[in-house]
A and B are shown apart, each in its own frame.
Chain A
Amino acid sequence: MDLTTTEPSDAELIAVIRAGASERAVDDGYRRLVSRHWKVVLVLVRSRIGSEGDAEDVAQEVFLRAFRSLGGLEAPHLFLGWLLRIARNLATDHLRRRRGETSLEGLGKLFVESRVVDDESAHATHERLEREEEVERVMQAVDRLPEKYRTVVMLRYLEDLPYRDLAARLGEPEGTVRNRLFRALAKLRETLLPARHDVGSTTAGAIEEGAFFQDPVNDSR
């Protein structure tokens, strides 16, 4: 298979690696799989164990563990989901070994750290800070989503992928992925709406005033 003219799917790359026709093709297959999924694996690991240097080592171990077990992967088109499961397990194991506990850092904290790294907040206006707090709450809510919804949200927004590519990566039909993303957003909306808020009485005007996605407990507005 010629891997240089078109962008092969995960399943095609795995077939090349399994066939082992030439060392160059196999190396190229590994390289493409790592490059394609590195970010999402690293973000998942960092969201669990923090952003310290060993997150990249754990991410590397995730790929090694996956590649060593490629022979036993029965559905290569579902490679990404399988890879993310390995990432979650290894991150949890790492956390247990390191701290003897399984508390997660979460996407919310990761977002806060990204602001610090970006140094965008140095001259932030009050409105901007409020918006960033709102983003942080949304990211925390993503952490609480069931796994299948969290995965689709992460891929969609982290990689900025269109539905076609998203479906290809997840090995599922485009319509299924589209519906899942919409359901994920609906679940996030339910989580984020303040408990006292009556959904039936929602008005666009209230949204314009920034009344949504506030912390129901620490609502200081």
Chain B
Amino acid sequence: MNRPERNEPDDHPLDRGRDSDRLRRRDGLSLAELLDASASRAEAVELARLDDLLGDGFGGIARTTPEPTPERLESIIDAMRTASNFAMSRRLRRSVRTLLWIVALFLSVLGSYAFVALALRALDR
């Protein structure tokens, strides 16, 4: 991340070409936009200074916040693979169980039918 050089504390953010350039480069709060959106030039100046201070604050935090290590990335992906495999095997188990229930139901209906048929035949005799 290319951070601009830090301002001196007594700099006037809107009167310095370097800061205006910086704001434009970041596609951010340009001088014209700030002046347009603010009630006064003084407010625009304050907002530009805030923009600068926030850039410093978060810039410092960003510099000391590590990117994810390859090990961390692999750990997350492995965990998701395991979760995915577990979910798949659970889905598979559920399907097999459902199938077994259907077969059992079919067999019991068939058995009942056969029993009734045999009973009726016995009665006919």
Contacts and interface: CB of A to CB of B under 8 A. Distances in A.
Contacts of A209: 10
A202 B43 contact: yes
A130 B9 contact: yes
Contacts of A60: 72, 75-76
Given A118-B63, A203-B42, A135 B50 contact: no
Contact of B61 (A34, A114, A182): A114
Interface of A: 20, 23, 26-27, 30-31, 34-35, 38-39, 42-43, 46, 56, 60, 63-64, 67-68, 107, 110-111, 113-115, 117-118, 120, 127-128, 130-131, 134-136, 138-139, 142, 153-154, 156-160, 162-164, 181-182, 185-186, 188-189, 192-193, 199, 202-204, 207-210, 212-213
Given A117-B64, A162-B26, A35 B73 contact: yes
Given A68-B83, A128-B9, A207-B45, A157 B57 contact: yes
Contact of A46 (B27, B50, B65, B79): B65
Contact of B60 (A114, A142, A203, A208): A114
Which 10 A-B pairs give the minimum distances between C-beta atoms? A157-B58, A162-B27, A202-B42, A114-B60, A114-B64, A117-B64, A38-B68, A158-B58, A135-B57, A131-B9
B73 to A, nearest CB: 6
A111 B42 contact: no
Nearest to A160: B1
Most chain B CB inside 10 Å of its own CB: which residue of A113, A159, A207? A207
A127 B45 contact: no
A207 B61 CA distance: 26
B68 A204 contact: no
Contacts of B79: 64
Interface in B57-89: 57-68, 72-73, 75-77, 79-81, 83-84
B41 A31 contact: no
Contacts of A43: 61-62, 65
Secondary structure at the A interface, as helix, strand, loop or mixed, is helix
Main SS class of interface, B: helix
Interface of B: 1-3, 6-10, 12, 14, 26-29, 37, 40-43, 45-47, 49-51, 53-68, 72-73, 75-77, 79-81, 83-84
A204 B45 contact: yes
A50 B115 CA distance: 73
A111 B53 CA distance: 12
Contact of B59 (A34, A127, A157): A157
Contacts of A159: 62
B81 to A, nearest CB: 8
Given A60-B72, A162-B28, A127 B10 contact: yes
A66 to B, nearest CB: 10
A107 B57 contact: yes
B72 A157 contact: no
Nearest to B62: A158
A39 B62 contact: yes
Residue of B2, B14, B29 contacting most chain A CB atoms (<10 Å): B29
